[in-house]
Amino acid sequence: MESAAHLPRDFLRSLDGQPLAPAGQSWADGHAYVQSNLMQPAVATASMVMAALAGGVPYGHRRELMMVLASLTAGEQDDIADRCRDVVRGGSWLLYEEVASGRDIDAATHAFWMLEEVEEDTERLEFFRTTARDNLPPDLR
């Protein structure tokens, strides 16, 4: 298996063009995760993706990045998934912003799923669910 050293380079390259491959297939899949199995670079990958979201990424890539983060936080290796959730929890405002923006229902769905996993203030989450309900699919309202 190839070293994960290429992940940051490939990730940055993926942001240069339009997202063509399914979420992370060209740079994360097979290195940070394989299907639902998390690999050692998963936590660093979650940190890299959260930093990119905080810094601003092209609109078309936000959905892909939310899907990658959702894969990293829901993986089968609980210890690695817990560490990924800690990374995401530290930037949960990015997830709230994604849902509130109304830009993309798929990105909002993945962001809200992650919020359900990482948000410790259940009252805040329920208030937000009600407030942003028009930006979520019917099953999350």
Residue recorded with tokens 């948000």: 119
What pLDDT score does 6 carry?
Answer: 78
Nearest to 28 by CA among 19, 108, 107: 19
Residue recorded with tokens 């979520």: 136
Evaluated on CA atoms 38, 102, 19, 15, the torsion sign reads negative
Six-digit token string for 83: 């560490």
What pLDDT score does 82 carry?
Answer: 97
Polymer length of the chain = 141
What pLDDT score does 30 carry?
Answer: 83
Return the higher-pLDDT residue of 27 and 107. 107
What torsion, rounded to 10 degrees, do the Cα atoms 76, 80, 85, 88 define?
A: -120
What pLDDT score does 45 carry?
Answer: 94
Six-digit token string for 125: 């989450």
Residue 73: which pLDDT band, with cuts at 50, 70 and 90?
Answer: very high
Query: Does the pLDDT at position 1 exceed 60?
Result: no
Query: Does the pLDDT at position 41 exceed 60?
Result: yes
Six-digit token string for 53: 């979201």
Average pLDDT, rounded, for the chain: 89
Mean pLDDT of 4-33: 77
Q: Whole-structure pTM over 0.95, yes or no?
A: no
Helix (H), strand (E) at residue 33? strand 33-34
User: pLDDT tens, 79-125?
Assistant: 999 999 999 999 999 999 999 999 999 999 999 999 999 999 999 99
How buried is 141 (Cβ within 10 angstroms: 0-12 exposed, 13-18 middle, 19+ buried)? exposed
Task: Tell me the DSSP string of 3-58.
Answer: -GGGHHHHHHHHHHS---SSTTTTTTBTTTEETTEE-TTHHHHHHHHHHHHHH---
Query: Does the pLDDT at position 126 exceed 70?
Result: yes
Query: Does the pLDDT at position 2 exceed 70?
Result: no
